[in-house]
Each structure stands twice: as C-alpha cells, then as structure tokens.
C-alpha cells in the first residue's frame, strides 16, 4: 500500500514539474534574476558529479575519487579568470548570497562599518540587518542616492564616507539600472583605507561581455556574484579578485571552505565551467542584445503611458527596466494580474516606497527573452501586451492567447553551443522519459 501510494506521489511531483515547464514555455518570463542554462551545462548537471563530494581545493581534497573533478574545476577557474580579466577566482560558493557571506567573513569583523545601498534604493537583502550583514554582525553605512538618476550621489556619498569611514564598501544592487561611479569614488576609498567590494550578481554577464563596467579595474578588489542572471549559467556562486595580496587570497579561499561551504555542488560547478566557455564565445553579442532589448522595452512602455524610471538616461544600461505602477494599482496587484496573462514579472521597491510587500514598482528583465532570440521588435510587442492588461483592461485570459502566439516562435536557446540546427528547446526535461 505504502509503495503504491508513494509511487503515485512521485508521479504527481513529476507532473507538477512538467506543468511548470509547459506553463513557462507558453509565457513571457521577465524576472530579472533568472536565466536558462545551455544543453551542455544541463547535461552535466544531471551527471554523476551531482552525487559526489570534493571538499578543499583541486589537488588538496579531503576525499578520494576527485581526479576528474579536479580537472574540471581547474578549467573552470582558468575560464573565470579569463572571462573577467582577473587573477583570482573561487568557484566553490553555492549561491550569490553564500559568496557574499564568504566575502564578509574574509574582509570584515563583527562591529565593522560597511558601506551599502538601502533596500528601497535597489540594495539587495543580503546587505540588510536581517540578511548577510546581520549574520556577520556588521553595521551598514548607507550611501547618498539620486532617485532621478537612479545612481549614487557622488558628492553626498563622499561626505558620508569621509565622516563614517567604513572598513569595506559594497557596491551592488538588486534593482541595477546603471554602473556605479567607481572611478569617481576610488580616491575617497583610498583616502579612508576602505576596500572596494562589488556584488555583480545581476550584471555579471554584462561585465563578462564587456558591456557594463569593469569593477575589478575601477577600484574594487573583490567581486562576488551568483551565476544565473545576465550570466546564463547554473544557480551557483563565484568570487573573483584582482589582487597581488596573498593574504587576501587565502582569506577568501578559507572563507569559501571551510567557512561557508563543505561540498560545493560539483554538478553546478561543471555547468558553470561550460557557461564560462560559452560566454567567451557569445558573451559580448549576448550582452549587447540584452541591453538593447531592455532599452526597447523601456521605450515601448513609456510610449504607452507607463512611468518608466530614468527615462532621461535611456531607461537603463543593464538588463533591467523599473516601472512605477502606483496608478495601475501598485506592484503587487499589477504583477499578479500580468501573471494571469502569462507575463511573469516581480513587484519591487522603488525610491520612496515604504512597504516591501506593497511597493509601487515592477522590475522587468530582458535577459531570458533575449536568450531565446527575441529582439527590439518583440520587446515592443511585450510592451503592448503589458499595456493591454494594465491600461486597456482586457481580460488576462484573452491576452494569454496572444502571449502564447508570440512565444511560440521563441523556444530555441541562442548564444550557446548545440543551439540553432540542434533546435534545443530549453523547456525539454533532459534525462526524463516521456510521461
């Protein structure tokens, strides 16, 4: 009885996953923190690497059986340094937040002051007292912010840094429209003896493609990130550095292991190696297309009466577009209504918002639709469909059919190997037999 009951449960779970995959195949994913792995990366993520352990560094493991794991990880490290033009990499953190905690462990002590952005100004939750900052017991020093330009107020931030003198300065955002003014602030960091740290989770692929900024050569010693947003890899983490300081390197490595990880998820590390190699081949083209699409989406939404932030600056220099939808019912209501039409976005805090549960903003990302071949004309069509739901009052069910029709021509992965003629459909469940 129990065996048959549990087998039925397994089938229900499989069916839920299939329905999820089919739903996304028919939808327009615009979540700025998501992306799609290539067929080669996906293959390695269901390999035997998934079942193994490899604590420590290549050649210095605490487990046997790691000959080929070492080969892959060494290649992954070399590729990471090549893509990001740096002399240090650690690919053992298993997520962006874990990478952030590792950097905090390496560079700070409890009670230290650390510069960061407020959540309502785009800061990530890991820099909050209830996130990684709280775990490490550091005190945030918030920068001055220009909500019209959606970037740091350089003069105001200089004054704060000179007064508060934080030990480390984190430059990173969850709502990430424009590069940080790192070069302008670098002399101030040097004056107060603060180390620059960049959280590039959202813009990692744009940095790797040479289309955003180069933080490790503009004043930051360390870059931490997740690897699945504009960088189209598996859900994993990475720490990168440009330093000759052997003490810093050792502290970062020790913070990764044994500090915040034991085994570092070898299957996703292998997938990351593939993604890095593909980014060397396709990253520049992909980053350019992603940014062009985000700007086209912003333009399309503004032309249809939406309040798109930073319109005077071309809306964005990244994959993200920020839209204030207070008059459309707020971010919570707008996001849920769009989901019914198969347009997947997230509510987001904007400058001036008080409640993270009921913000006035939506955050949209172009990276996933770019990955399947959409261009500026399709972004204009996406803007039309959003307008149909939020301004024209059309039924989400009716608009859903138009969403399906648009998406039908875009289920083949681009900017990777084994695409094109192979017609790799990223919603296919590799390794699972048909139901």
Q: Are residues 287 and 268 in the same domain?
A: no
Are 231 and 294 members of one domain? no
Looking at the structure, tell me whether residues 156 and 263 fall in a common domain: yes
Distance in Å from the first CA to the final CA of the chain: 23
Task: Please provide the DSSP assignment of 210-221 as one string.
Answer: TSS--GGGTT-S
Question: Does residue 383 sit within a domain?
Answer: yes
Domain termination residue (choose one: 224, 257, 276): 276
Give CA–CA dist 84/136, Å, rounded. Answer: 28
Q: At what angle do helices 331-340 and 396-407 cross, to 10 degrees?
A: 60
Is pLDDT above 70 for 77?
yes
pLDDT at site 127: 79
Sort strands 60-61 and 56-57 into parallel, antiparallel or unpaired.
antiparallel
The enclosing domain of 372 has a CATH number of 3.90.1150.10
Domain ends where: 242, 276, 310? 276
Give yes or no: residues 340 and 394 share one domain.
yes
**Statement to judge: residues 265 and 358 lie in one domain:** no
Residue 72 domain-assigned? yes
- Measure the CA–CA gap between 231 and 205, rounded to whole angstroms: 4
Shared domain for 313 and 198, answered yes or no, is no
Range of the domain at 64: 42-276
| Average pLDDT in the chain | 94
Residue 427 lies in a domain: no
* Residue after which a domain boundary falls, among 242, 261, 276: 276
C-alpha torsion 182→371→325→329, nearest 10: -140
Residue 435 lies in a domain: no
**Which of 123, 111, 278 lies closest to 199 in space, CA to CA?**
123
In this structure, is residue 256 part of a structural domain?
Answer: yes
**Distance (Å, whole) CA 325 – CA 354:** 15
Q: Span 370-376, mean pLDDT?
A: 97
DSSP per residue, 95-150 = SHHHHHHHHHHHH--TT-EEEE--GGGT--GGGSTTTHHHHHT-EEEEPPEETTTT
Residue among 208, 130, 212, 230 nearest 171 (CA): 212
Return the pLDDT at 421: 45
Rounded-to-5 percentages of helix, strand, coil across the chain = 50, 15, 40
* Residues forming a β-bridge with 196: 169
Tell how far CA 434 is from the center of its chain: 32
Strands 361-365 and 56-57: unpaired
Whether residue 328 sits in one domain with residue 258: no
**Neighbour-count burial for 111-126, b at 16+ CB within 10 Å, e otherwise:** ebbbbbbebbbbbbeb
Q: What is the pLDDT of residues 32-52, one digit of tens each?
A: 999 999 989 999 999 999 999
Instruction: With beta carbons less than 8 A apart as the criterion, state whether 243 and 320 touch.
Output: no
* Residues whose CB falls within 8 Å of the CB of residue 431, separated by 6 or more in sequence, listed in order: 46
- Coil, strand, or helix at residue 154? helix
Percent of residues, the chain, with pLDDT higher than 90: 89
Over residues 335-349, the mean pLDDT reads 97
Question: What's the pLDDT score for residue 431?
Answer: 44
In angstroms, the CA 424 to CA 417 distance is: 10
**Is there a single domain that holds both residue 272 and residue 306?**
no
Judge whether 344 lies within some domain: yes
Backbone angles phi, psi at 25, to 5 degrees: -60, -35
Instruction: Check whether 300 has a pLDDT greater than 70.
Output: yes
CATH number at residue 93: 3.40.640.10
- Residue 426 is predicted with a pLDDT of 54
Residues 250 and 113 in one domain: yes
Task: Measure Cα distances from 52 to 49, 76, 233, 243, 266 in Å.
Answer: 5, 17, 20, 32, 7
> What is the average per-residue pLDDT within 396-410?
97
Q: How many domains does the chain have?
A: 2
Are residues 290 and 244 located together in one domain of the fold?
no
pLDDT band at 222 (very low <50, low <70, confident <90, very high): very high
User: Are 254 and 303 contained in the same domain?
Assistant: no
In a domain, 93, yes or no: yes
Would you say residue 430 has pLDDT above 70? no
332 and 231 in a common domain: no
Give the residue from 322, 275, 281, 277 showing the smallest Cα distance to 298.
322
Global pTM value: 0.95
Report if residue 182 sits inside a domain.
yes
pLDDT digits (tens, 9 = 90+) for 251-280: 999 999 999 999 999 999 999 999 999 999
């Amino acid at each position: 009885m129990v065996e048959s009951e549990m087998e039925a449960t397994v089938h229900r779970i499989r069916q839920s996953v299939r329905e999820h995959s089919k739903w996304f195949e028919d939808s327009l994913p615009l979540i700025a923190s998501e992306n799609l792995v290539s067929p080669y990366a996906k293959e390695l993520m269901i390999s035997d690497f998934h079942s193994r352990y490899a604590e420590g560094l290549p050649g210095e493991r605490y487990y046997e059986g790691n000959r080929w794991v070492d080969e892959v990880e060494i290649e992954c490290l070399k590729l990471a340094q090549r893509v990001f033009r740096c002399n240090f990499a650690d690919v053992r953190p298993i997520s962006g937040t874990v990478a952030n905690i590792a950097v905090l462990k390496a560079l700070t002590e409890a009670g230290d002051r650390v510069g960061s952005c407020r959540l309502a100004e785009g800061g990530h939750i890991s820099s909050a007292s209830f996130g990684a900052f709280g775990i490490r017991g550091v005190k945030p020093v918030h920068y001055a912010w220009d909500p019209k330009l959606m970037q740091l107020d350089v003069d105001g931030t200089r004054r704060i840094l000179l007064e508060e003198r934080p030990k480390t300065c984190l430059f990173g955002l969850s709502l990430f429209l424009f590069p940080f003014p790192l070069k302008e602030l670098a002399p101030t960091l040097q004056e107060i003896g603060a180390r620059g740290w960049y959280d590039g989770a959202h813009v990692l692929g744009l940095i790797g493609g040479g289309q955003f900024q180069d933080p490790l050569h503009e004043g930051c010693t360390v870059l931490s990130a997740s690897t699945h947003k504009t960088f189209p890899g598996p859900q994993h983490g990475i720490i990168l550095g440009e330093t000759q300081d052997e003490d810093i390197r050792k502290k970062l490595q020790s913070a990764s292991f044994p500090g915040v990880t034991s085994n570092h998820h070898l299957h996703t590390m292998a997938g990351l190696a593939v993604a890095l190699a593909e980014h060397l081949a396709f990253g520049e083209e992909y980053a350019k297309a992603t940014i062009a699409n985000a700007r086209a989406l912003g333009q399309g939404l503004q032309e249809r009466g939406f309040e798109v932030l930073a319109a005077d600056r071309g809306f964005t220099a990244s994959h993200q577009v920020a839209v204030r939808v207070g008059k459309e019912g707020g971010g919570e209501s707008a996001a849920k209504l769009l989901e019914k039409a198969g347009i997947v976005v997230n509510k987001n805090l904007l400058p001036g918002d008080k409640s993270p549960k009921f913000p006035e903003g939506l955050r949209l990302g172009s990276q996933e639709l770019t990955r399947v071949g959409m261009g500026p004309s399709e972004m204009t069509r996406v803007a039309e469909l959003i307008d149909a739901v939020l301004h024209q009052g059309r039924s989400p069910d009716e608009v859903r059919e138009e969403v399906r029709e648009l998406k039908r021509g875009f289920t083949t992965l681009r900017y990777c190997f084994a695409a094109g003629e192979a017609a790799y459909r990223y919603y296919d469940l590799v390794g699972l037999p048909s139901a």
